[in-house]
Amino acid sequence: MPTDARTVLVVDDDQRFADTLAQALGRRGWAVTVAHTIDAALAAARARPIGAAIIDLRLGDEYGLNLIQPLREIRPVTRIVVLTGFASIATAIKAIKLGADDYLAKPVTANMVVATLLGSEPSAGALATTDTERMSPRRLEWEHLHQVLTEHEGNISATARTLRMHRRTLQRKLSKSPPRD
């Protein structure tokens, strides 16, 4: 196992969450670096080799998926996990297409994150759907909003224009957790 295999970069704009996750991973033997923006994350990745990265989907005004490809360029073997409280099928597909190794929906436990980082078991917190699963109209709307948002690379204004929806209405709908069916 390479010396940097148990090093992880946690990228989340929520300082309390990032610090809590960093402490939990540290107690489990991981060397953790925390960054709160894309620029800080890239600087950290250039400063020292990392074995894994946990990236929040929303980083304030930034879109966490925009970090995947630059991280892959800096260190192609880094295991990248997207962790989000706003999970949707569209963002999961986009994350994997961009090169993420896994996609977890919050809430997750530190043990689930470690298992995902090690690739030792399927992601217990991963977004799971099947073709035969039926979704409620509210869930379908939520999925559609996130699909259009993903197509516009996280740009709320462009998404609102495309959907012919007021920007604040869209933000309110996006801030809610996915409806449970």
List all residues 6 or more positions away from 28 whose beta carbon is below 8 Å from its beta carbon. 110, 114
How high is the pLDDT of residue 30?
Answer: 93
The pLDDT value recorded for residue 71 is 95
Same domain, 108 and 154: no
Give the range of the structural domain holding residue 76, as residue numbers without chain letter: 7-118
Residue 127 lies in a domain: no
Which amino acid does the sequence have at 143?
A: E
Closest to 41 (Cα-Cα) out of 15, 20, 25, 64: 64
**Tokens 């197509």 identify what position?**
151
Same domain, yes or no, for 34 and 86? yes
Q: How far apart are CA 173 and CA 96, in angstroms?
A: 24
Give me the pLDDT at residue 128, please: 43
d(CA 159, CA 115) in angstroms, rounded, equals 35
Same domain? For 102 and 25 the reply is: yes
On whether residue 24 sits in a domain, the answer given is yes
101 and 152 within one domain:
no
Answering whether pTM is above 0.85, one says no
Give the count of domains, the chain. 2
What is the residue-level pLDDT of the chain in tens, covering all 181 positions?
A: 344 678 999 999 988 889 989 998 998 899 999 999 999 999 999 999 899 999 999 888 888 999 999 999 999 999 999 998 878 888 888 899 999 999 988 777 788 888 888 876 444 344 444 333 455 667 777 777 887 787 778 889 988 888 888 999 888 888 877 766 5
Q: Per the domain annotation, does 83 fall within a domain?
A: yes
13 and 44 housed in the same domain: yes
Structure confidence at residue 4 (pLDDT):
65
Q: What is the DSSP string of the chain?
A: --TTTTEEEEE-S-HHHHHHHHHHHHHTT-EEEEESSHHHHHHHHHHS--SEEEEESEETTEEGGGGHHHHHHH-TT-EEEEEESS--HHHHHHHHHHT-SEEEESS--HHHHHHHHHT-S--TTB----TT----HHHHHHHHHHHHHHHTTT-HHHHHHHHT--HHHHHHHHHSPPPP-
